[in-house]
Structure formats: structure tokens, C-alpha cells
């Protein structure tokens, strides 16, 4: 299992990072878990820091390829 997080950069960059993570994880069948660090520490890793970031994460969660790994 891997825990990750991303801060907002410029407009849309966090959403792009999440989409890239989704695409990369789909290519790595040895990954069996993904945990996003949704918290505010020294930086804000909150998923709802932008609408685009939250929507990108929702698309990741709705992706059937991730559900199939758990089945």
C-alpha cells in the first residue's frame, strides 16, 4: 500500500496529477492499495482544494479497473 498526497499548484495541476496517478497505477498490477493523504499539515493536501481535483479523484474512484483488483 502506498500513501500519497499532492498540493495545489497552478490551476488544474492537482487534477492532472491525480489523473496521471490513476493512469500510472493502472499500468502497475502489483499495486494492491492506494491511500490519499487527505489532510492539512504544513501544506494542504485536501482533495477538495479545487473542484477539478475533487472531480478527478471521483473519476479515479469510479474507475472499474480499480474495483476489479479488489474482486
Positions of E strands within 1-71 = 2-4, 34-36
Mean pLDDT of 5-31: 91
Q: Return d(Cα 40, Cα 20) in angstroms, integer.
A: 22
Q: Is residue 11 part of a domain?
A: yes
Q: Is residue 49 part of a domain?
A: yes
Report the domain count for the chain: 1
pLDDT in tens, 19-42: 999 999 999 988 888 888 888 888
pLDDT computed for residue 32 by the predictor: 80
Domain with 19 in it: 2-65
Q: Is residue 70 part of a domain?
A: no
Q: Is the pLDDT of residue 15 over 90?
A: yes
Amino acid at each position: 500500500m502506498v500513501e500519497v498526497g499532492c498540493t495545489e499548484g497552478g490551476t488544474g495541476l492537482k487534477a492532472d496529477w491525480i489523473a496521471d496517478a490513476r493512469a500510472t497505477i493502472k499500468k502497475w498490477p502489483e499495486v494492491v492499495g492506494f491511500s490519499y493523504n487527505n489532510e492539512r499539515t504544513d501544506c494542504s493536501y485536501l482533495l477538495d482544494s479545487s473542484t477539478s481535483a475533487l472531480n478527478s479523484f471521483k473519476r479515479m474512484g469510479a474507475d472499474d479497473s480499480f474495483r476489479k483488483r479488489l474482486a
